[in-house]
Amino acid sequence: MPTVTIQDIKRHAKRALITVASIVLLLSALVVWAWQDRPEMADTGLHLQVVDDIPEAAVTATWLGVTTLLFDDGETQILIDGFISRPSLFESLTKRPVTYDAPMINYVMNEYQMRRLAAIIPAHSHYDHAMDAGAIANRSSASILGSESTANIARGAGVPEDQIVVAEAESTYSFGDFTVTLVPSVHAPIGLRGEVPLAGTVDEPLALPAPITAWREGGSYSIVISHPQGTTIVQGSAGYREDALDAVQADVVMLGVALLGSLGRDYAERYWQALVTSTGAARVFPVHFDDQTRPFGEIVLPPRVIDDFSRTARWLKDIRDTWDRDTQLYLPVFGEPIVLYPEQTPDA
Ligand SMILES: [Zn+2]
């Protein structure tokens, strides 16, 4: 029997250590590479919506990342969602308690002149939609309109009860010349096992700091925003209910596309038909295509391994060409007002 010396054991241990270290190093390099492998905006092949001058009477929508959209007709403003604080990737992955970025909220409300806010309407109650709705309401006299979960998010922020409105299905709400209807919809099944991530409701006032998992979906809506000049639908998440919008005619659809790529092209086609074909919209703007873990104002597409938006954009173009040839498909430009109902727009 050969004798095993201490030297032998040390040599083997060293070799094993080197092997494990090499594998860890290689895997880390692979993760870093995959995380940085992201399509550029130009890879989407979609035109950017650029507006040179804005007619005085125009109804505009300004996209502020994810699905945060500021509607304005010159007299009344409506904010869809309210997501400015944007917790980092580290905070999201570690589920560390997060709180409002108050200086950034103040800056954004000043920079985008949110001085006539009449309503703040989250599409659902996940943090990337509703996180700052309460903090914004506290800096304005706007009503927060949404689900019971959204109401509890507002209460946690200390929003006075008379500013909180729990939406009733199919009821309409008037804000200046805008009329808003919250049509019950569903969230996209984009969890790892095809479930709705962070489902459930927020049943108590949600005080911060809290981990991002504290914001539960709380029900999703197709938000139909009508104005004498036209109608826009905001779909925060790529979920849909067949026939839910059959009675709705729209000019513009703000189409939530986060992780739509993971649901497959057939799903994307049905989603398009439910939101665009059935409403007859003349223009579609994908939203919720930016990496939500980046700070406010930084628009970067997610890593291809997570959600390849350049591929999703090609699908959308194909689907548009199949079903709605005359519908224009644009990408919104961060912070630039979109004239929602122009008499004429160049082809895209
Ligand atoms: Zn969501």
The pLDDT tens digits for 325-347 are 999 999 999 999 999 998 743 44
- Mapped onto helix, strand or coil, the DSSP state of residue 224 is strand
Q: Position of tokens 């970025």?
A: 101
Q: Residue 305 corresponds to which tokens in the numbers above?
A: 């391994």
In angstroms, the CA 79 to CA 257 distance is 19
Number of separate helices (H) and strands (E) present in the chain: 8, 15
How far, in Å, from the CA of 108 to the mean position of ligand 1?
A: 22
Q: How far, in Å, is the centroid of ligand 1 from the Cα of 198?
A: 8
Residue 133 burial (C-beta neighbours within 10 Å; 0-12, 13-18, 19+) = buried
One DSSP character per residue, 124-141 reads S-SHHHHTTHHHHHHTS-
| pLDDT tens digits, one per residue of 151-180 | 999 999 999 999 999 999 779 999 999 999
Cα distance between residue 64 and residue 107, in whole Å = 13
* Residues comprising the chain, all counted: 348
Reported as a pLDDT band with limits 50, 70 and 90, residue 1 is low
pLDDT, residue 218, reads: 97
pLDDT at 344: 40
Task: Taking residues 230-241, report their average pLDDT.
Answer: 97
Please report the pLDDT score of residue 169 as a whole number.
79
In this predicted structure, what is the pLDDT of residue 51? 78
Residue 2: pLDDT above 90? no
Q: How far is the CA of 317 from the centre of ligand 1 (A)?
A: 24
Is the pLDDT assigned to residue 204 strictly greater than 90?
yes
Residue 217, CA distances (Å) to 58, 172, 305 in order:
33, 22, 25
pLDDT of 76 higher than 70: yes
Give mean pLDDT, residues 295-317. Answer: 96
pLDDT band, residue 247 (cuts 50/70/90): very high
Ion ligand 1 neighbours (CB, 5 A) are 126, 237
Interval between CA 7 and ligand 1 midpoint (Å): 58
